Amino acid sequence: MKTRILVTGAAGFLGSHLTDRLLAEGHVVIGVDNLSTGNTDNLAHLENESRFTFESRDICEPFDVGQVDYVFNFASPASPPGYMRLGVETLRVGSLGTENALRIAERYKAGFLHASTSECYGDPLEHPQSESYWGHVNPIGPRSVYDEAKRYAEALVMAYCRYRGVNTHLVRIFNTYGPRLDPDDGRVISNFLMQGLRGEALTIYGNGQQTRSFCYVSDLIEGIMRLSRTFEHLPVNIGNPDEFTVLECAQEVIGVTNNMSGISYEPAVEDDPTRRQPDITRARELLKWEPKITLRHGLELCLPYFRSKL
């Protein structure tokens, strides 16, 4: 059945891929984004798509797009340079913006899925991280504007579920990469690919032994779509459980880009998590989901996009 769906943050990396998936399934999509970190280039291919409408707006101000059947709330800066540049705005979109989106879901009795993050676990003392872990977050550190915005948003989403009867869902997204990832967003994959393709040394902050688990975007979107169709209200991790050190990731990028310039090391970033790996037991059991694309294959799939950004 075709439905009318609101996607906030539609011009962002994940929001644009989600929009594509929803349109491919035959839905009508209203995308909103204030373009603080999103980019309309991510939606340019939809210019003649009659089932897609884009509105440039700040969801921190009350708004209404009319009757909708589902709300996907993906509005927020997501990369460290973005949320550190827009600290107050990040806190506002996690609080005021999320509540405005929830009010739309409540008004129209629509389903609601909120894009949360593995950053809710902070620099974790539990490994791998399961949804039952409450996290180890510095509430006043430089990353706190993002971490605490997302943690508050989760509490708000659960409150609208418990007290207002909204059919809400929470996905905790682990490191994701793919085409449309901003090449200047400061994340590991985008930094390494751009440096590798330019023939520069790859920059590692710290000793390179901190770990990440990288999920290709199509795998992530599949997990999100499956979660959106359930009646599960508690958080679900969606990410790739294959754990790599940052140094190992750099070596993979060197392999796919044929870069001969080596690696350079810079001082570690404050509050940068030392280990990050999702426990996806719940996703496997509840959604019958697990990622399919390996890091090497995903990097190869990214190359044409990142070459176009040189």
Catalytic residue ranges = 146
Cα distances (Å, whole numbers) of residue 292 to 125, 149, 219, 229: 28, 31, 7, 20
**203/2 Cα distance (integer angstroms):** 46
CA distance 76 to 272: 19
How crowded is the C-beta side of 102, counted as CA atoms within 13 Å? 27
DSSP 5-38: EEEETTTSHHHHHHHHHHHHTT-EEEEEE--SS-
What is the rounded CA–CA span in Å between residue 83 and residue 273?
Answer: 16
DSSP designation for 93: I
Tokens of 51: 């089932």
**Is cis: bond before 128, omega within 30 of 0?**
yes
Q: Please state, in angstroms and rounded to a whole number, the distance separating the CA atoms of residues 124 and 104.
A: 34
Distance CA 233, CA 157 (A): 9
- Give the alpha-carbon dihedral of 195, 185, 150, 290, to 10 degrees: -50
Position 201: which residue type?
A
Please check whether residue 246 is in contact with residue 144, taking contact to mean a CB–CB distance below 8 angstroms. no
User: Residue 93: which region, alpha, beta or left (left: phi > 0; alpha: psi -120 to 50)?
Assistant: alpha
